Structure 1
Amino acid sequence: MTDSIYDVAIIGAGPAGLAAAEQILKHGGRVVVLDEQARAGGQIMRQPPKKFTVRDWLKGDIYNDLKDLLQRMADHPKVIWHMSTTVSGVIPLTDGFQLWLHDMSGLSSLTAKKIIICSGCTERPLAFPGATTPGVMGAGAIQTFLKSQQILTGENFVFAGTHPLQLIVAEQIMAAGGKVAAVAFAQPLFRGLSLLKQPHSLLSHWQVFAAAAKSLIRLKRAGVALLFGYAIKEASGGDSLKTVTLQPVTAAGKATQNRPLRQYEVDSLGLCYGFQAASELARQAGAEAHWSEGRGGWLITHSEWMESSRAGLYVAGELTGMAGGDASREEGHIAGIGCALALGLVSRHDGHKETKAARKRLRKHNRFARILCQISQVSDHLPDTVMTDDSLLCRCENVTCGTLKNALEDNPHLLSANSVKLLTRTGMGLCQGRLCYANTAALITRSRQCPV
């Protein structure tokens, strides 16, 4: 075990972490950047392995600024990288933090005066019949294979969800040679069109809107069925996906019989029902969090300098609320200056001066993000509509939705996720609830008529 001391330890090498590192290094701080992946960039800039060459990696103008940031930091001589490294725990000390790490060489630790957690987000899963059938994946996971190695996860695809990312991924699948039968949105079309009532946000993010519109047009021209008011009902096929069934739903997410079911013979299903903040590490370290169903679940509360309620622990990126890579970069910029300010590397006057433009851009990105979250939010009744008693809720411990419902009915004293966990083992597996906590929380709150 080795124990090195740094000014700032940055957990997460995506846009937020890279931007934070750049600002701290600019002011002379000693920085270490840690990430589970082998290369920097995060999910949005997932790089291929070093021995692979990917032609036309991350095409499109919307990635240009982020790619420039990645290039600057990848070549920076003073960055200390700890890649392919898991941060197992964060222990607050009197004058800093101790981080426990695990990598291919085993366990180790390091100490930092300040830490910035930029742990990003994960895709939100829904529990439905056949959700664990091989061939069923998150749309973001499908895109990761494309970005990093140009691998198609199947030949024939259907996408189902609420988030417009699935339009872009579907178009990328077709460009790579795959076939897309349908892209289904659970919300009605008019909810998506409400974005047109926000011309200021559209104009300020015209590149994002143009990319989505371009994908939509290409999908329509290719004969892809674009459905609104349709959600996943079942994925079937046994050892591999063969059939996807979509069901009509109302604007509130309830099942309806006013339209027929849709069935598709495909070998890959991409789900895109939103994202949830990966805030577990920050919460484990004692940072205060608040619940926001529409912005990503448990979000970390922070100051104007991105400092959490735990002094010296800063956050940036999606664990403060879903807003995308550009907003994450600006938050990382502010958090980096915030750390430099706390370390005495920059004056308060200069700190405000150096973050003025970033704060302005962040406000713009957050306005757009709030609108996007409203449009793509999973309707209240949708999780109940798609899940059945036999649907697998906790994959790690093999707990079904019916098992949890019965436990809640038979034990009226169960009032919290912790008590449910102890009785049913829901959330006690290797992922520690990352895949089931949102659906579990929804079942508990509806059963007990209480907030999360």
Structure 2
Amino acid sequence: MASAMTRVLIVGAGPAGIRAAQVLVAAGLHPVVVDEGARAGGQIYRRPPENFQRSSKVLYGSEAAKADALHQCFEQMLGLGQLGYHMRASVLGLGAGQAQVLQADRVHTIAYDRVILATGATDRLAPVPGWQSAGVYSLGATQIALKAQGVALGRRMVLAGSGPLLTLVAAQLLKAGARVAAVLDTSTLRTQARGFAGMALARPGVALRGLSLRAQLGRRYHAGVQLDRIETDATGPVAMHWRDAKGRARVSACDMVGMGWHLRAETHLADLAGVTFDWDKTSAQWLPRTDAFGRGGDGVYLAGDGLRILGADGAELAGRLAATACLIDAGLPAPDARATLKAIGRMERFATAMQRGFPWPAQMVRALPDETVLCRCESISAGDLRATLALSGPEANRAKSLGRVGMGRCQGRYCQLAGAEVIAAQAGLHPAQVGRLRGQPPVRPAPVDAYIASEPENAAQSSA
């Protein structure tokens, strides 16, 4: 009997991970969930501390009911002892049926037969001269501070980038009473209109909600801008210098800048698990290759934004599909997935249209001045990388080893895509030809003494 001895590890307790756990628990399995957060919910439905005063309606807006349902689902499974849960824990590496997990300043090992990677995504950032300054944040960090602590990261803020998150974060800050001086979108209105048509066909309600949020920004919002530089002093940003759609120079005074261009799939663990990657031309990034259910290899399943950037609703569907595939492959009864596959197809059409309407600013990145810091971890400039290519050639990993771009604390999460554009422009290539930085353990920084204190642990144990 293929059986209840099947040990399933789920990495991530966001929408994808929670729904995957729900499907497995319904089938009689006892999955183990490892998550970096203090409470389950992921980034999109990040939960504040227990004594936080703002309601879920205020925190999540129109998505409050979905957030509450996910939180309650997880808490119920946890309360009934139906899953193991390791919170504030990071998977540093995995392979050969074992995951190395950093928790409470030590590394322990969790054994598994199958693993579902629901690792989510991080902000995708494009360098702008001055972005290395203190006081420049990602849009995701800006939103986390607001959700988790009710904090606005500046007294006069400029938000820049492109995509729905730019509009959403701006609207959330305004609703909370923060002062947003300008919202600068690098996508033109014409480009956005072409994408909106496809978005409205796939998910009309979501598209209309986006327009409603945009309307709340009023004259703060500017489309088709060019970002020139962030002016700073010893304390941080003092102004964003930019050009409007007609090429006119503009300056917006500020003491904080938030930036982001959609999301970048978090794929380091998928890489270590042996998953194959393909360049996705629509989203302009490397994404894991899987089947429709998220199978990425023998006993490896992917779900959520770590597989495809489909948002919270798409992540829930992908979590169910990954768990369904896991049950099928283990020879266990599995739910009918036809309706879920149809629904996720609609999410994919919406996401494709959205990426086309709010594209990655490739030309802006390729034209960065030499003095612009490209890799914030290692303080490597665009000019440093260009100079490295005479020795490394146009190959990402060799340029990394000789020039250190992507070798810092973030392991290329924030500079890899921009670095590929700079290399490609210098060599006259497409970014896909530059290659992808290989993932290496540990995928998160870890103290040496955490390894010294390490010891194996049975996967069925919970450290909640």
Check whether TM > 0.5: yes
Instruction: Provide Cα deviations, 1:234-265, integer angstroms capped at 9, x if missing partner.
Output: 1122222111111246xxxxxxxx52111011
Match of 2:352 in 1: 370
Instruction: Give matches, 1:220-235, under 5 Å.
Output: 220=218, 224-235=219-230
How far, CA to CA, are the matches of 1:299 and 1:168 in structure 2? 25
Amino acid at match of 2:381: T
Instruction: Provide Cα deviations, 1:335-372, integer angstroms capped at 9, x if missing partner.
Output: 011111112221xxx54x2x122111111111111100
Retained in 2: the 8 A contact 1:275–1:296? Answer: no
Equivalent of residue 381 in structure 1, options 359, 363, 369: 363
How far, CA to CA, are the matches of 2:83 and 2:30 in structure 1? 8
Q: Name the SS of the counterpart of 2:190 in structure 1.
A: helix
Match of 2:311 in 1: 324
> Runs ≥4 in structure 1, deviation > 4 angstroms?
none
Retained in 1: the 8 A contact 2:60–2:67? Answer: no
Instruction: Give matches, 1:192-341, under 5 Å.
Output: 192-198=192-198, 201-202=199-200, 205-220=203-218, 224-238=219-233, 239-248=235-244, 258-295=246-283, 297-308=285-296, 310-341=297-328
Gaps of 5+ in 2: 433-464
Deviation, 1:47, is 0.7
Retained in 1: the 8 A contact 2:237–2:254? Answer: yes
Match of 2:440 in 1: none
Instruction: Give matches, 1:359-438, under 5 Å.
Output: 359-385=341-367, 387-408=368-389, 410-411=390-391, 414-438=393-417
Retained in 1: the 8 A contact 2:41–2:70? Answer: no
How far, CA to CA, are the matches of 1:342 and 1:261 in structure 2? 59
Retained in 2: the 8 A contact 1:188–1:228? Answer: yes
Retained in 2: the 8 A contact 1:116–1:316? Answer: yes
Match of 2:330 in 1: 343
How far, CA to CA, are the matches of 1:305 and 1:212 in structure 2? 29
Retained in 2: the 8 A contact 1:33–1:81? Answer: yes
How far, CA to CA, are the matches of 2:175 and 2:19 in structure 1? 31
Amino acid at match of 2:261: Y
Report the count of equivalent residues: 422
Deviation, 1:21, is 0.5
Deviation, 1:203, is 5.8
Deviation, 1:312, is 0.4
How far, CA to CA, are the matches of 2:153 and 2:332 in structure 1? 48
How far, CA to CA, are the matches of 1:98 and 1:316 in structure 2? 19
TM-score by length of 1: 0.89
Instruction: Provide Cα deviations, 1:294-322, integer angstroms capped at 9, x if missing partner.
Output: 326221111233110x2000001112221
Match of 1:60 in 2: 61
Q: Which moved more, 1:21-30 or 1:441-450?
A: 441-450
Deviation, 1:58, is 2.9
Amino acid at match of 1:192: Q
TM-score by length of 2: 0.87
Q: Name the SS of the counterpart of 1:50 in structure 2.
A: coil
Q: Name the SS of the counterpart of 1:281 in structure 2.
A: helix
Instruction: Provide Cα deviations, 1:31-51, integer angstroms capped at 9, x if missing partner.
Output: 001111111111100111234
Instruction: Provide Cα deviations, 1:155-183, integer angstroms capped at 9, x if missing partner.
Output: 21212112132112111111111112221
Deviation, 1:204, is 5.1
Match of 1:162 in 2: 162
Instruction: Give matches, 1:65-144, under 5 Å.
Output: 65-76=66-77, 77=80, 78-92=82-96, 97-144=97-144
Q: 1:317 to 1:399 in 2, by over 3 A?
A: same
Instruction: Provide Cα deviations, 1:166-217, integer angstroms capped at 9, x if missing partner.
Output: 112111111111112221211211111224534xx42652332233222222
Q: 1:57 to 1:83 in 2, by over 3 A?
A: farther
Q: 1:382 to 1:211 in 2, by over 3 A?
A: same
How far, CA to CA, are the matches of 1:301 and 1:406 in structure 2? 33
Match of 1:255 in 2: none
Deviation, 1:126, is 1.5
Match of 2:454 in 1: none
Q: 1:294 to 1:122 in 2, by over 3 A?
A: farther
For the pair 1:450 / 2:437, whether they are aligned, the reply is no
How far, CA to CA, are the matches of 1:272 and 1:91 in structure 2? 32
Gaps of 5+ in 1: 250-257
**What RMSD in Å do the two structures reach over aligned CA positions?**
1.9
Instruction: Provide Cα deviations, 1:53-85, integer angstroms capped at 9, x if missing partner.
Output: 433443433342343122111221212111100
For the pair 1:44 / 2:44, whether they are aligned, the reply is yes
How far, CA to CA, are the matches of 1:242 and 1:287 in structure 2? 44
Deviation, 1:105, is 4.4
Deviation, 1:25, is 0.6
How far, CA to CA, are the matches of 2:145 and 2:128 in structure 1? 24
Q: Which moved more, 1:297-306 or 1:62-71?
A: 62-71
Q: 1:358 to 1:63 in 2, by over 3 A?
A: farther
Retained in 2: the 8 A contact 1:29–1:345? Answer: no
Q: 1:434 to 1:27 in 2, by over 3 A?
A: same
Q: Name the SS of the counterpart of 1:381 in structure 2.
A: helix
How far, CA to CA, are the matches of 1:21 and 1:88 in structure 2? 21
Amino acid at match of 1:143: Q
Q: Name the SS of the counterpart of 2:59 in structure 1.
A: coil
Amino acid at match of 1:191: T
Q: 1:103 to 1:326 in 2, by over 3 A?
A: same
